[in-house]
Amino acid sequence: MAEFQWDCPASVGVGRLDEEHRQLHHLITGLLKTLETSPGAARGEARFMEIFERVVAHFKTEEDYLEAQGFPGLAPHRFEHELLLDWFRDQLVLRGSTGARPLILLVREIAEIIQRHHQTVDRAYAVWLKDPEATADSLPTGWARRGPDR
Ligand SMILES: [Fe+2]
């Protein structure tokens, strides 16, 4: 299997959101590197929780901004966020159970999910912000509507 690659997220043209995307990318790829070199790293679980908390805060910031801008695709975008957070909460509940998946697999999965989210639905609002004449009908589908690749 090809090694997972995630380049730095493309700009959406909004300074605060770009900075949060960059920070999330940094946190997730940093944890992946840590787990690849020492899979049992004690701080891994705490970092995974920190990533969840940052994602929650970032989604709120993004939704508030898009609402203030009148983005017509906000409802499906918000729905995508909710499904992604549901996935995250499910994984957090299972962390302490016997047979819980290795953390590195979850971090790879969340990296792929967030990367795809950024490249599809986040890119859609970036395009709309630059050209509000673009319609919601042309917005690309994201992870939630297709489901994760398994
Ligand atoms: Fe988003």
The string of DSSP letters for 28-66 reads: HHHHHHHHHH-TT-TTHHHHHHHHHHHHHHHHHHHHHHH
At residue 136 the predicted structure's pLDDT band, cuts being 50, 70 and 90, is: low
Q: How many angstroms does the Cα of residue 16 sit away from the middle of ligand 1?
A: 13
Give residue 16's pLDDT.
96
Q: Where are the domains of the chain?
A: 15-132
- Whether 146 has a pLDDT exceeding 60, the answer reads no
Q: How many angstroms does the Cα of residue 142 sit away from the middle of ligand 1?
A: 10
* pLDDT tens-digit map of 55-102: 999 999 999 999 999 999 999 999 999 999 999 999 999 988 887 889
Q: How many angstroms does the Cα of residue 102 sit away from the middle of ligand 1?
A: 26
**How far, in Å, CA of 140 to CA of 121, rounded?**
6
Give residue 1's pLDDT.
45
pLDDT: which is higher, 30 or 97: 30
Give residue 150's pLDDT.
43
Give residue 100's pLDDT.
85
Fold of the domain spanning 15-132: Four Helix Bundle (Hemerythrin (Met), subunit A) (1.20.120)
